[in-house]
Structure 1
Amino acid sequence: MGKHKILTILEKELVVSLGCTEPVAIALAAAKAKSYALGQIAEISVKASGNIIKNAKSVGIPGMTAKGLEFAAALGATAGDPNNQLEVLTGLGLYDEQTALKLIEAGKVTACQADTPKRLYIEVIVKTEKHTSRVVISDNHSKITLIEVDGKEVYHGGCENIGIQTDDEELEALTIDEVYEWILQADLNDLTLIKKSIELNRVIGMEGLAGDYGLNVGRTIKDNVKKGILSDDLATAAMSLAAAGSDARMAGSKLPVMANTGSGNQGIAVTLPVVAAAEKLQVSEEKMIRAVALSHLITIHIKSKFGRLSALCGVTAAGMGASGAIVYLLEGGLQQIKAAVQNTIGNVSGMICDGAKAGCAMKVSTCSNVAVQSALLALNNQEIQSTDGFIHNDVEKSIESFCKLGNEGTRQTDELILKLMLEK
């Protein structure tokens, strides 16, 4: 696979994001709709697919205390800058929160589930005394596919590509073999996005360790290492830093992160276990950068088949990428990298997604621990065999099976999870 094709994939799938992606996407749609409807807001209505509702219902929004779909839409419409894409809520504060809440208190903002087969769908209608505008985001958190003003279509996006931004033909040749060969020879000057992902995501990881965020999963692990209850080893280092990053992000930290395939939490889970392992092993900066690039690309490869939103937790795919990268840090070769991915698939495939929330940090911790465990088993030439479960001899076929499970085997589960969440 050509050098430039892989770089293009990285440029499309690694995007700086502020806040959990689902409420931010709602805010983006609302901000865009308001930009086409001059005048005082009379009404905002939001329709969203079940998976969007699941991930936007309870998660924190950067710098805010309020949560929910209505709040995200009101905040985006009153104070968001649509030109900032997934950083649409950058720089907002208490005044902006109060302004948005006044709209909600006045009964001017409503939200409901959209009647759509799409897993990622957001529709926001903003009405003022002068205009009515409608904006639709579908299949990708920042992909506006329709804009209508006063009933007239002013923009219609091109071909919708479910699951991932990169074109199918660009992804066809992306295999673990191809990724590994590319990682070995890649020019470090071409890996500036990887370096930025390390820098941004490490900062939020350290913030989570220092502050009081969500369930404090990462900080609790670190504190128990200090007490001698947990050992100061590779697994706890990976779990602590990665979970802390998720703690901060899910609780509404104002720090941006580098998202992977549309998910900031996934971006954290792809990078920080590898960064923590690299620091623990005291490898060179170059080795760490190449390892994180490997983790990103393996995860992109898996997510391109898995889809952006599923009843299964996307952090499991990040754990698969991280496991291969940790093998690379420990001087393992291609076959052991594949074995680590196989082991991770066989371990965490059934983890469900019940929405974005503080508890996601626990899932990040679990997948980080599994990534280390799977890597160590692979380095000892231990690999889940094709006689077990849906694992194949070929890792690419195992990935296909895992993705079929996520896409085809969990639709009823997804509906039930949402029903259980909305019954509370």
Structure 2
Amino acid sequence: MKLFKLATALAFGLCVLSALANANAAEDRSIRPFKAQVPQAALEDLRRRIAETRWPDRETVDDQSQGIQLAKIKPLVEYWGASYDWRKAEAKLNALPQFMTTIDGVDIHFIHVRSRYPNALPLIMTHGWPGSVFELLKTVGPLTDPTAHGGRAEDAFDLVLPSLPGFGFSGKPTDTGWAPDRIARTWAELMKRLGYTRYLAQGGDWGSPVSNAMGRLAPAGLLDIHINLPAIVPPEIAAVLAAGGPAPAGLTEKERATFDALSASAKMGNRSYAVMMGTRPQTIGYGLMDSPVGLAAWMLGHPGFSRWTYSESDPEKSPDEVLDDITLYWLTDTATSASRIYWEYGGRSPAFAGPEMTSEISLPVAITVFPGESYRAPETWARRAYRNLIYFHEVDKGGHFAAWEQPELFSAELRAAFKPLRQDK
């Protein structure tokens, strides 16, 4: 009987392995053209839902400590329901070459813009949450056509801008395990399918742990990574912050300033959204998937998103850009699937990578620190985290969504960061 059970188990296991092998072999590896085409009925339903919003009463404080303020979100929503035009956002996407390919059972949507200049360096860039490929679109011109934006022909890049699994027009994973390492392997496969044998990776927000994972896994052809959210808080500092303790002795002036900023942010609950998505993404999804205003309020609860949206330094900025992003989440029904990346990452924010994410990276690493970031990472911490840090630069403007906020400066930073690779060719 035992032998029979063992034989049965072995036969079943072989069947499973055979099925998996057949599934992988059967996976459509083609790269298919894609156009964004949202049905008009979906846009009409969105406006109807906005018009039927049940508003909460006003907050009882004069700041955002209870969440996005009613006086800030209500005018934005009123414009969203009455005047905002999604078709213009759709046209922005459709003006660029878009594609779809299936990797590891999930459809991956991506924008692929080849530069007209020979010897352009291929670069894959990863967006974050509550961002999307929209946050990277302003860099397409400066990076692929540098001579029109103050650069040189030899500064050109080919750009690959994928939508994270579960985000935007990419497919929604139906299994678990879609943490940064699996996404990194997916991106490596994507670059391989595109025929690139040498390329670079860049990311901020979730693009930071994904790019770190790519650097650690070092797939064939990856030369260098650049990140603009260097999540490099030393373990002993992270432990003190978690306990709510005072700043340790011996910190430099910059380290102390960073510690104080992180401590203040923790006391204000600025990352409460990450805690919720990291523990109960399904629960919050029931509300976010049913109410467009609830979705907008949740996304605007991200400090970097909210600060940029309501930037006092740029009062003329159109609300369309942030609504393009929020509307994309709504129309693709991805509020819940996008939230799960926090759960997959063990409930952590991408702003706090453990040392295991960086200590094994031997590839060259470049970092740009923007002043409006979640925290300004000191160079001393960066050099502890990355043993092959070849570029570290602090700039004077821009924030968490650096490519969106300061596309020209962001692009200039990438040219400078990756310049040694061109010289070494």
TM (normalized to structure 1)?
Answer: 0.24
Structure (1/2) with the larger helix percentage: 1
TM-score by length of 2: 0.24
Larger Rg: 2
